[in-house]
Amino acid sequence: MRSLRGWSSLTVASLTSVLLASTSAHAVGDGGVNGSTDNEDQNISASANQSRIKVTQVSGPTGGKRGALSSTDVNWKPPPCWYEPVFTPAQLKNFAENDGKGDVSLRQGWIGPRLWTEHFKDEKEARNYFSTPSTAEGYKDYNLGKNGYFWRGVAPDVNEVDDTSKCGRLMFWQNAGETPDVPDAPTPKTLADYAYDKVKVPDTEIELKPEAESTVNLPTWVWLDKGTFQEVKVRAELPGTNLWAETTAKPVALHLEPGTEDAETYPASGECEINEDGSIGTPYKKGDAEQTPPCGITYLRASSGEPYALKASVTWQISWEGTGGAGGDLPDGTFETTQDMNVQEIQSINR
């Protein structure tokens, strides 16, 4: 075993932040390690900012223009960091001795085939720990022959330094089928939050009458045909843990912002609820020009050459279910688009 006394203070200090490093990913390979064909082990990565969570869209549109939701709760964020199984014993041996030899950030926690797993509160504690290797905890020969995984912290958003520092524990061992009893261990809720951040919903293209150009004091009808918006369900699974969650986004309302205070919305709140058949509002029909639309806008002043920016945002209700019957609600999400509306002074009726 190589002596630790020759390590620089910089190297020792960096042990406490190794999991926050934006290291490059090293895929184990399509066939796993040592001929393994276990699908759960095919996408293992040694990168601290790349999660192994497998994400699949179960239902909802997959084509056309789509985008991510914005949470209505400004304080809500997906979890900044958590622990994941990253290597089987054989995979870690192969990585440490072959694939990952050049990955300094990973190997800083290693001396030969022994893995140091303590979390140090400061550089002094780390230096004292490594100055007496005979009393340090480690794993002999990568735990070969044992059934389980080595886990490490994952922090996909490496910019959240204050939060990700919580997941500062170095790699540690966990028996197969078990989830570690430590802070920031993954849960179905963790996966549900992660899936929320991966939900993609269709662009909000509303139907208008009159289209793109309206007239002062003439109601503009707004609607969306049924089937335009469907539920979107995303499933997140963490290989090697039996943990999964499905997050479902259900469209519930369309909110209109005319782009000027000189306008009235229908309803007055600007919230057009989704009808039972999945449509929003009512399509314009000939002869409806003088009627009040169930969903729409009346502009009270001309746009004077500069179009109003009409904002239309759909509110999506978010729920989730996961391993062991877990489940609940997450903050609503919104997706917003903007389109130009020209408003003229001519008092004509478009029939």
Q: Is the pLDDT of residue 7 over 60?
A: no
* Pairing mode of beta strands 296-299, 232-238: unpaired
The residue length of the chain stands at 351
Per-residue pLDDT band for 28 (boundaries 50, 70, 90) equals very low
Q: Is the pLDDT of residue 330 over 90?
A: yes
> In Å, how far are 24, 61, 207, 255, 312 from 65, measured between CA atoms?
31, 10, 16, 19, 15
Q: Tell me which of 117 and 276 has the higher pLDDT.
A: 276
Looking at every residue in the chain, the average pLDDT score rounds to 74
What is the structure's pLDDT at 347? 54
Per-residue pLDDT band for 99 (boundaries 50, 70, 90) equals low
Tell me the mean pLDDT in the region 319-348.
Answer: 89
Per-residue pLDDT band for 159 (boundaries 50, 70, 90) equals low
Share of the chain above pLDDT 70, in %: 69
d(Cα 132, Cα 126) in Å, to the nearest integer? 11
